[in-house]
Amino acid sequence: MEVKKLLDDSSQYIMDTYKRFPVVFIKGRGMKLWSADGKEYLDFMAGIAVNILGHCHPRHVVAIQKQAQKLVHISNLYHNEYQIKLAKLLCDYSFADKIFFSNSGAEANEAAIKLARKHSKERFGAEKTGIITALNSFHGRTIATLTATGQPKLQSGFDPLTPGFSHVPFNDYEALKSAIDENTCAIMLEPIQGEGGVKMPSTDYFKHVRDLCTRLGILLIFDEIQTGTGRTGTLFAYEQYGIEPDILTLAKGLGGGFPIGATLARDEVAKTFTQGSHGSTFGGNPLACAVALATIETLLEDGIMLSECRRMGEYFMESLIKLQKQFPKVITDVRGRGLLIGMELTRECAMVAQACFERGILINCTAGNTLRFMPPLIVTEEDIDRLISVLKDILERLS
């Protein structure tokens, strides 16, 4: 395969919205990917926290093959078996009573925003539409979710943005409380800020936020696009904070690599969406739901994968903390939960990600100076040890 020709054609025909590594992947299996020029890579990105079962997991592949031979799309004017089964499974294992299916995280968050505003308008009046989110958050790239995203650099050039959003520092309860006014209808937060640098909340932050929302009649929306479906060691991250949101959004790992999004809600809130008030042509189609159902069933089977996620997460964190002790002038912090882990450096981290890529390991640099690790949940100690060895060699050269 002519790799240079492919890269040249990519440059010519595809909009230049991504800073891509110069590689064309053609095959994957488990933790590994292979490029068109035959090089093997160890994948600690999982398609940005998507491929929770790894690449080409047998049950994932079979689910796609079997359903593609039977029925791919019918629209939501008709019922489909797997949409119903997936909705029931997610409700059985969460706080939610009802679900709306879409195709991506941004669409799931759009639905959550619309649902929160419509519910609050009907309950309290037309003016109650304000939504508070966190600085350095990430909620999507549509105009509304981009406005919700607390990163001005991503919003630049897309004015006018959607009115009614405000941003406060993450994990600052007093700032959040002070930002609430009579028009606030919802607070939308990530349990852990992924794109923002794997920023963690304090132990009781979300309990205070939940109590505040309950007391004031404000909806609490959890954006679990990145933290949901097992990434932090439980099916949903909110379980680890001892609270429940009113609305929750999922995507990424839900389909294990196949595009699907979901907005989960309590019945009192969900009933605000009436026939014709929201929709999606492709959302919850038979193929996407069959694949997502197989993915989540595999994840939940005997709880093995979730317990392994917690165990591997602890091993990974311990390994990175040991590395931090060896390079205290380069590594300032190691933080995370389950298999969503960040390692903050004293310098720009893009060069480290590039050096790992050249050594056949895929990692991510986010928030400028934080290396983000989000491997498939099938990662092993051997995989982690290999990454640590490569990182140690790179950091020794940087030091």
The pLDDT tens digits along the chain (399 residues) read: 699 999 999 999 999 999 999 999 999 999 999 999 999 999 999 999 999 999 999 999 999 999 999 999 999 999 999 999 999 999 999 999 999 999 999 999 999 999 999 999 999 999 999 999 999 999 999 999 999 999 999 999 999 999 999 999 999 999 999 999 999 999 999 999 999 999 999 999 999 999 999 999 999 999 999 999 999 999 999 999 999 999 999 999 999 999 999 999 999 999 999 999 999 999 999 999 999 999 999 999 988 999 999 999 999 999 999 999 999 999 999 999 999 999 999 999 999 999 999 999 999 999 999 999 999 999 999 999 999 999 999 999 987
Residue 364 CA to residue 105 CA, distance in Å, equals: 19
Task: For the chain, give every residue range classified as CATH 3.90.1150.10.
Answer: 3-57+303-398
Q: What is the dihedral of CA 358, 58, 46, 313, to 10 degrees?
A: -110
CA 174 from centre of chain: 27
Q: Is 383 a catalytic residue?
A: no
Q: Is 70 a catalytic residue?
A: no
Q: Give the residue carrying structure tokens 């009115």.
A: 163
Q: Which of 44, 95, 138, 206 is catalytic?
A: 138
Task: For the chain, give every residue range classified as CATH 3.40.640.10.
Answer: 60-302
Q: Which of 118, 128, 199, 252 is catalytic?
A: 252
Residue 358 CA to residue 375 CA, distance in Å, equals: 18
Amino acid occupying residue 248 = L
Q: Which of 223, 258, 273, 383 is catalytic?
A: 223
Superfamily of domain 3-57+303-398: Aspartate Aminotransferase, domain 1 (3.90.1150.10)
Q: Is 165 a catalytic residue?
A: no
* CATH 3.90.1300.10 applies to domain 60-302: no
